Amino acid sequence: MIALIQRVSEANVTVEGNTLGTIGKGLVVLLGVEKGDTDAQAAKLAHKVTGYRVFEDDAGKMNLNVAQAGGELLVVSQFTLAADTKKGMRPSFSGAAPEEAARLYDLFCDHCRQAGLQTQTGQFAADMKVSLVNDGPVTFWLQV
């Protein structure tokens, strides 16, 4: 399971012109599910994302997690994160897990909410438009 997280000052996701999720300060989480991913991995990655210290404290150091910084989450499913790009000029998606991805995506979001974070989402498997203002820029690839 992969999470590409971006620290943002604002972000939103739309489908067919309808806004589904909007956040101010927080993290955009692009979530990719791979074959073999488990419920335990979804819980572990949610714990890592919600606890990852990428927001600045009063001294200007990245010492605060999203909750400590008063932020929110916008979680967007992103199967392309599971692509194999090692060979050729076209990605292979044989490592993606479409049969389990929706359930694990929902489970990940539930874990984030249980951690007390306001969690907005996109629409699984839809053609989404994501707009964001990356703050920093700060972007990290997390994998469990």
pLDDT in tens, 18-28: 999 999 999 99
Phi, psi angle pair for 143, to nearest 5°: -145, 140
Pairing of strands 119-121, 128-143: unpaired
**What secondary structure does DSSP assign to 10-44, as a single string?**
EEEEEETTEEEEEESSEEEEEEE-BTT--HHHHHH
Catalytic positions, written as ranges: 78-80
User: Do 49 and 55 contact (CB within 8 A), yes or no?
Assistant: no
State how far the Cα of 89 lies from the Cα of 87, in Å rounded to an integer.
7
Per the CATH hierarchy, to which homologous superfamily does domain 2-143 belong? Answer: D-tyrosyl-tRNA(Tyr) deacylase (3.50.80.10)
| pLDDT of the residue at 95 | 84
Which tens digits make up the pLDDT trace of 68-113? 999 999 999 999 999 999 999 999 988 888 788 999 999 999 999 9
Please provide the distance, in angstroms rounded to a whole number, between the alpha carbons at the two ends of the chain. 6
CB proximity list for 115: less than 8 A, separation 6 or greater = 46, 47, 50, 67
pTM equals 0.95
**pLDDT value at 61 more than 90:** yes
